[in-house]
Amino acid sequence: MAGNLKTRVGMLYAAFYAGQFVLLGIQLPFFAGWLALKAFSASEIGLITGVALIARLLLGPFVAFWADHQTDERLSLRLASLLFAAGAAGLVFLPGKLLIGASAALVIFTFGLLVPLSDTAVLRADRNGWLHYGKIRAVGSASFLLATVLGGAMLTQTGIAAAAPIMAVAAFFAFLISLFLPKGPGGRGGAKPVSWREAPKLITNPVFLVVIVSAGFTQGAHAVYYAFSYLHWEAIGYSALTIGCLWATGVIAEIFMLTRVRGIAKKVSPAMLLMMGGMAAIIRWAAIAFDPPLPLLFVIQLLHAFTFAATYLGAIEFLDRAAPVRLVNTGMTLMSATGVGALTGLATLGSGFMWDAQGASIAYLAMALMGVVGAAAAFLVTRIWNGGKLFE
């Protein structure tokens, strides 16, 4: 019975991730095209995305802190999933640019809350012996991969207008699954939640701050890619299917790095992983700025293994090695909200106006400059961190 129950728990959390990442697999490559169809300009699309990410900066840590103090881990997952589904439904049913824009911002904002809340619950379930985090989380990446390829093929046939209904169905599925998650596997197991007063010990630590800058600038340099790559590649003449395959190539490289090279990541210093991410960002975004031929563009997309996955692993490995165990989740939330979330939001806001005023190439070159900052900050980490705990 215990084995069957563990299998059921794993399947439910895998399905929960699948709903979230199917939506993301449509939203990231194709949502800008759908918004453009609704008469949103690049600067308005950037404003929607930027506002959502900055809201995550302002509210995310408080939501995470509240969620960490609930005795039932399902409450926060269900509330976030409900808002996630409501935002996606608003895209389909609400009229007018103002309400559509608000719904779009709500979807992006709640996804930014839902994934770390889900990650925390699944990591705890892993530690509590209920499932394997890597295998369950890989379902999310695989769902994203399938959504980008199959969604691209479908949207090529039906038109980009079908993007919002697909997103709404995926979000409702995630909410529905949240209602069936069992209590306990993702709970604290009676452990006392960390006090908010301990968070300043991390956020004021110079090494932690430099890591935030490195991870934040490198991850934030994806802003143009996340928000506008569909508009850019569609203007060149690529179909939705081709664009989906380009995105899928990056995700395959990401999955390979996160799963097959995980052991190597344990042996490489977090600062080196962060530096690899920053250097890859310089090459990737500078190359895309000059519109390389399609075969070369597919090769360049493989750098996602470094710009995203190596940077992500570097941040996670740093927290695992440098932060006290009781503050790892707090550190993940702070890094996600204050570093990656804030810098991605600001970069998206700025790049939207830059895109309208000066075009795609300049916007992508600005992202390459962010990679320079990310790589430089990673190098600084090698000089100021000895590889041990920041404090006890």
CATH of 1-188, one of 1.20.1250.20, 3.40.250.10, 3.40.50.970, 1.10.10.10: 1.20.1250.20
Cα dist from 334 to 16, 24, 25, 228, 352, whole Å: 24, 22, 25, 27, 26
Give the model's confidence band at 227: pLDDT under 50 very low, under 70 low, under 90 confident, else very high: confident
- Name the least confident of 3-12, 229-238, 254-263: 254-263
Q: What does the pLDDT read at residue 25?
A: 93
- State the average pLDDT over residues 51-77: 82
DSSP 193: P
1-188 and 196-392 agree in CATH topology: yes
Percent of the chain with pLDDT over 90: 54
Q: Where are the domains of the chain?
A: 1-188, 196-392
- Name the least confident of 16-25, 50-59, 373-382: 50-59
Residue identified by tokens 């390389």 is 292
Number of other residues whose CB lies within 10 A of the CB of residue 156? 15
Q: What does the pLDDT read at residue 265?
A: 64
- 105-116 pLDDT per residue, tens: 999 999 988 988
- 147-204 pLDDT per residue, tens: 998 999 999 899 999 999 999 999 999 999 999 998 888 777 666 666 666 777 778 8
CATH topology classification for 196-392:
Growth Hormone; Chain: A; (1.20.1250)
pLDDT at 385 over 90: yes
Q: Over the chain, what is the mean pLDDT?
A: 88
Dist. CA 186–CA 122, nearest whole Å:
6
Contacting residues for 299 by C-beta, under 8 A, at least 6 apart: none
- State the average pLDDT over residues 11-32: 94
- State the average pLDDT over residues 47-54: 86
Dist. CA 251–CA 88, nearest whole Å:
23
Give the model's confidence band at 2: pLDDT under 50 very low, under 70 low, under 90 confident, else very high: low
Dist. CA 350–CA 364, nearest whole Å:
12
- State the average pLDDT over residues 264-273: 82
Dist. CA 181–CA 186, nearest whole Å:
9
